[in-house]
Structure 1
Amino acid sequence: MRILTWNVQWFRGLDGRVDVARVLQHALRWGQQPHVIGLQEVAQHCPGLDGAGCADQVAQVRACLPRYEVFFAPAVDDWRPGLAQRQRLGNLIATRLPVLRVHPMALPYPADPTVPSMPRVLAALTVLAPWGPLRVGCTHLAYYSARQRLAQAQALVAWQHEAAQVAAAPPATRDEPPDQPFQARPHAADAVLMGDFNAPPHDAAYHALVGGAPPVWWDAWTVANPGRPQPPTFRVHEANAAAVTCDYVLVTAGLRARVRRVVVDEATTLSDHQPLLMELAPSVTI
């Protein structure tokens, strides 16, 4: 099972060209037709973004990925007088696995008047993996505000704690038709969390995610490549900027034994970030 994550910078390459199709073609080719694709910085009707114009990139993604179901979770959703169209920017999950639940979550947005900021969101699905229900989350944490980024990381730890508790003790069911609001739903204890965390390995937000005792989240790169630092994933090909490692795929403890490979595409220049690919084994021999 292959899972790919990429901050696509509204599909803008380092050559300045905005092209949804060429980015997705590369993702499909390099990722060997991933079962799940998580994208950050997907735009709808955002003319202020260089080259994006007023395009609906979510619709373009759907057109380019006919074999996938596509779910968009906007972090920014602006609708106010003077706007010709609703302007949205957020995270997207596309999958060719059966989808059991859709449950996005707004992330904390504590006040920090010292820096620019915008809301952040977790796009989240429960899909049917080869071994059973699996939660998959795609997120993009605060860039300028360390305070907001840490609060968001802590919320993602709480999200996993709560989901695991509900999976262990699911809600009672009622003797009612299956389409009513209190119907039984699948609950998955394990999850994959991917995206642009804007947190280098020394950042407090990264440590909040993976530094518990025991950890709530495990960095899949370190699981697959012990003792080897993950290559940078941001500004890798920008001449006058230091490259940064801030894009990750994280897994819960129950998935560690399934992690077979995590790789970074260090060559592509189709975004200012590099994509990551994780392979999970469908079965584990104990």
Structure 2
Amino acid sequence: MKLVTWNTQWCRGLDGTVSVQRIVDGARAMADFDVLCLQEIAQGYADMPGGPGDQPAELQSLLPGFQLFFGAAVDEFDTAGHRMRFGNLIATRLPVRQVQHHTLPWPADGGVRSMPRLCTVVTVQSPALGAVRVMTTHLEYYSKVQRMAQARALRDLHIEACGHAAAPPLDDDSRSPFQTKVHTPHAILCGDFNLGPTEPEYDVLRQPFVTDGARRLHDAWHARHGDTAHAPTFRLFDRTYGPEPVACDFVFVSDELAPRVRRIDVDLQTQASDHQPVVVEFDAA
């Protein structure tokens, strides 16, 4: 199974050009991906730089054979009544078992710029790995208070899902909304976390917990590369937001998937966004 995650900056490159095609081409250059997780996808924000248009529709046309699931963290209307949405998108060619959109905490932090945040979850059926919860998100940049609350909520979502896998609800064949769901402890949590590996939120995400035994989320980079420092994913070419390149786009994996990480790499050349894309590939066994 191959997955690419990328904060696209609404598909706006460092040259100022908005190009959905360039994002798809860049992701395909990294891998023949089974799952594509994108953050900062826009729909209807005509006044944003580059005029992004309807990016979920563009992506659907560029990804034949894939199902697309757009999770709008922001869903609002302008004064003329035009709808505007902004958030995460997961595209996959694998069979899909369930889709969930989890609103993340947005506690008040007066005088600080912020927006609502979301975690989009698509449970796919991988021939090699079985059922896997693919979770993608984009945490708050400006508010540390909100970012910490969101990191804790992501960990809680994984704990809750592992609890259901360990103690599943009553089987139900009613073909109603109560019908039996797929519950799995196998998870991939990826996206732009807007924090570095030395921040306390990073430790919160990896803090062990107990359901049917000691479990945790592992940083896939270290699962593959050991103690080697993360490759930078932000501020590599554009220093608008700080003087040094940093890693803030991560892939976290559940216990069962950590030993199966065959490859995780960062494209350190592309300038199709202000972030660098990350690819992760898993062994079958």
Residues 198-213 of structure 1: pairs in structure 2 closer than 5 A: 198-212=194-208
Asked whether the 8 Å contact 1:5–1:194 carries over to 2, the reply is yes
Secondary structure of 1:10's partner?
coil
Q: Deviations over 1:171-198 (max 9, x none)?
A: 112453x2x1111111111100000000
The share of aligned pairs that are identical, in percent, is 44
For residues 57-93 of structure 1, give each alpha carbon's deviation from its aligned partner in whole angstroms, at most 9, with x where no partner exists: 000000110121100000010135x134211100000
Unaligned runs of 5+ in 2: none
Letter in 1 for 2:157: W
Give distance in 1, aligned partners of 2:11 and 2:150. 25
Deviations 1:236-263 (A, max 9, x none): 0125642121000000111111111110
The corresponding residue for 2:133 is: 135
SS in 2 for 1:151: helix
State how far apart, in whole Å, the 1-side matches of 2:173 and 2:121 are.
Answer: 28
- Structure 2 residue 261 is the aligned partner of structure 1 residue 259: yes
1:101 aligns with 2:116: no
Equivalent residues in 2 for 1:1-286, closer than 5 Å = 1-31=1-31, 33-53=32-52, 55-79=53-77, 82-130=79-127, 131-174=129-172, 176=174, 178=175, 180-212=176-208, 216-238=216-238, 241-282=243-284, 284=285
- Name the stretch that deviates more: 119-128 or 237-246: 237-246
Residue identity in the other structure for 1:159 = L
After superposition, the C-alpha distances for 1:208-265 in whole angstroms (9 at most, x for unaligned) are 1124476621100010000200111011012564212100000011111111111000
Q: Could you report, residue by residue, the CA deviation over 1:121-164 in whole angstroms, capped at 9, with x for unpaired residues?
A: 00111100123111000100000000100100000110011100
Secondary structure, counterpart of 2:10 in structure 1: helix
Letter in 2 for 1:98: P
Q: Is the 8 A contact 2:2 2:281 kept in 1?
A: yes
The whole-number CA distance in structure 1 between the counterparts of 2:173 and 2:164 is: 20
* TM-score normalised by L of structure 1: 0.94
The size of the alignment, in residue pairs, is 278
Q: TM-score, normalised by structure 2?
A: 0.94
Distance 1:67 1:175, change over 3 A: closer
Query: Which stretch of structure 1 is more off in the superposition, 40-49 or 136-145?
Result: 40-49
CA deviation digits over 1:254-282, x for unaligned, max 9?
11111111100011010000000001112
* Ranges in structure 1 where 5+ consecutive residues have no aligned partner: none
Asked if the contact 1:11/1:23 (under 8 Å) is kept, the reply is yes
Q: Match for 1:224: what amino acid? A: R
Tell me the distance in 2 between the aligned counterparts of 1:193 and 1:68.
20
For 1:162 and 1:193, how far apart are their aligned partners in 2? 14
Contact 1:10 1:52 in 2 (8 A): no
